[in-house]
Structure 1
């Protein structure tokens, strides 16, 4: 997501993350940072920048803070891939409205000076879309938002095409083909209920008992893969393999135990999956569930994984619905009705 920050404004490009609550961008000086092609934000050059006092209410809204000797509110934010550390500050952020007008807000954000996260170089930080008080929707007072993510790899084949995100009025997901499912708020995150997945016309339930707990899967736009507990994944993989006549790769040291093929899986030779959320069936075509994890190599892997023995193992008997399978859907979050909506959409054409 593109926004601008400070006075004079500097463009920032944040990964949108429905599973986190703190907006941050890399700042000068940056002691340990990932590479970015865009200029880093320099707070000393902005007339509207101000650090947040460690004893303020705003500082206490973040759970991982400590006071510096100068009374700054120093934050730490942890992710699966690493940490972001810096100073909580207040700044003017500007985005463009649907009518083309610039709209500005004063928000609290993390001015990051130390990051062990390895984002791609087109990114400057993160736009948090969670339910916490410091998330972007919370701070701008938006009760709904929607986004449309590009298919994996589009940024490399045509960098001029961008995904879309909108907040407030006009961000509703409506029209033909829309399906909706209720979400449960757990730790300021959006959990929905996954009942099972059909491979072609074969239904695979989330649990063999066919009983599921409400809110058993996290909608996470900041993670890539669709991760499932071992028992469910193993039963699902059996059915997927049955419908692909090609022999999968075996014992590859780079790919581990992932289901991968040396032949491209297309809509002609792969299965259609239907994800059965509570009250909403979402269809995933083969090209949405197989992708190339290593650029430059003709290897195509299942975008759904067994989360055991991965960095996501802490999910236990729950799952994670990542951004690979969210691509080419207009996905809306209504924070008042507590619903998530999905509409099949060519996100390259919005």
Structure 2
């Protein structure tokens, strides 16, 4: 049943980030933003939250969760396509509509607000620009670079143009780019530099001068009218994280509120504000792989109570187990190799006092009546880090009657993904200079 989803899905929206920023009259430099320099925080919100402009009150919570499941399956499907196309890794990335979160980000001087998808599965930052030859319909006015005093086309001979550029514009020395996604969507336009402006939780705005972005003039994507573009948070050289790397010390973190708290914002932190500290903090190494966009870590096993199940790299059985799972805030559910998953499911069932029941939609494999105690003791053992999961990380309520296991079996050969439900109510910090990821259990609605 699950395998049918993987073979049939071709597009995705997954875990991505809506960031609401208020742009204030007073601005300050990135160095001034935090107590120790380079630190600031912003509020972020899930696209299905009641606070989101994409929120549809006619869709129930359970229907939104069902949609998130299908987006997650599609996202993992496209992870697979990205990984098996190494010759195209510089441009063949997850679909452009792939993101559960959105971000309000301003471009130019004076700043012009745009609402963009934020995606840990891609790198390029781009928005729709005037004059568009082929643009999808959006509510906000198209960005007009001629009205910004800080806009500058990149030369087609520049080092940055060589990253994804494809030569000169016919009438100028400007760098043309085409950035393709695995679902055959794409953005095409001019690669340029501009000042971005982000709001912060301190009430002041943060200008980020001379950052590279794509000024899109031909954009074939399936965005909603609220979304003007995309902000990549991946590990590649053109992502927002990589472009800010020196000024934020290579550090960012996020704290995702549980799905049921739709009227509370999550948090995205940069620099000194992204520090994860305390006695209950654990860390695991980030593993460098061929495709720099994704964040790989090593899963050693998962314990149910005192029973520990070892996790092996079935994607490459004769290779090292290092980097055998992708840590991704853009995928809602957690996906594991099928042989391991079935063993895990068996141990979970043994730990629950009650009979499992069938999901009428045949979407989820393991479900129980909603009044069943499904508070299973589960720990994810990453290399050097034992992450104890709570009930909200392991089971989701899919209807008034049912709760279901938030882990999904993968077809053989697909990359495993540790999704956002498993990360909720954790402060998850990335230190790209030290190549580590940190986990700290917290109440994200209070963080």
TM range (shorter): 0.7 to 0.9
TM-score (norm 2): 0.65
Indicate yes or no: 2:344 matched with 1:344.
no
In 2, distance between residues paired with 1:39 and 1:329? 37
Q: 1:323 aligns with which of 420, 424, 427?
A: 420
Native 8 Å contact 2:374 2:395 kept in 1: no
- Tell me how far 1:166 sits from its aligned partner: 1.6
Higher strand proportion, which one?
1
Cα 1:237–1:93 shift into 2, 3 Å? same
Cα 1:145–1:291 shift into 2, 3 Å? same
Instruction: Write out the 4+ residue segments of structure 1 that deviate beyond 6 Å after TM superposition.
Output: 208-212
- Tell me how far 1:127 sits from its aligned partner: 2.8
Please name the residue that 1:5 is paired with.
107
Please name the residue that 2:370 is paired with.
264
Cα 1:4–1:246 shift into 2, 3 Å? farther
- The C-alpha deviation readout for 1:34-57, integer Å capped at 9, x for no partner, is x76666544454343333343322
In 2, distance between residues paired with 1:298 and 1:25? 42
1:346 counterpart SS class: coil
- Tell me how far 1:12 sits from its aligned partner: 3.3
Match runs of 1:305-320 below 5 Å: 305-308=408-411, 316=413, 318-320=415-417
In 1, distance between residues paired with 2:442 and 2:133? 39
- The C-alpha deviation readout for 1:166-223, integer Å capped at 9, x for no partner, is 2112321111321111111222132111001112332121139999611111112222
1:348 counterpart SS class: coil
Please name the residue that 1:83 is paired with.
185
Native 8 Å contact 2:123 2:235 kept in 1: yes
Native 8 Å contact 1:193 1:277 kept in 2: yes
Match runs of 1:139-218 below 5 Å: 139-140=243-244, 141=246, 142=248, 143-154=250-261, 157-158=262-263, 161-186=264-289, 187-188=291-292, 189-207=294-312, 213-218=321-326
- Tell me how far 1:239 sits from its aligned partner: 1.7
Q: 1:222 aligns with which of 323, 327, 330?
A: 330
Cα 1:287–1:98 shift into 2, 3 Å? closer
Q: How many corresponding residue pairs?
A: 330
Please name the residue that 1:333 is paired with.
430
- Tell me how far 1:259 sits from its aligned partner: 2.0
> CA RMSD for the aligned pairs?
3.2
Native 8 Å contact 2:193 2:213 kept in 1: yes
In 2, distance between residues paired with 1:301 and 1:100? 40
Native 8 Å contact 1:51 1:73 kept in 2: no
Cα 1:208–1:66 shift into 2, 3 Å? closer
1:233 counterpart SS class: helix
Structure 2 gap segments, 5+ residues each = 1-18, 20-103
Please name the residue that 1:239 is paired with.
347
1:223 counterpart SS class: coil
Q: Tell which deviates more after alignment, 239-248 or 333-342.
A: 239-248
In 2, distance between residues paired with 1:99 and 1:43? 29
Cα 1:290–1:115 shift into 2, 3 Å? farther
- Tell me how far 1:327 sits from its aligned partner: 1.6
In 2, distance between residues paired with 1:277 and 1:198? 11
Q: 1:108 aligns with which of 212, 221, 231?
A: 212
Cα 1:260–1:51 shift into 2, 3 Å? farther
2:445 counterpart SS class: helix
In 2, distance between residues paired with 1:27 and 1:301? 44
TM-score (norm 1): 0.81
Q: Tell which deviates more after alignment, 205-214 or 130-139.
A: 205-214
Please name the residue that 1:128 is paired with.
232
Cα 1:13–1:276 shift into 2, 3 Å? farther
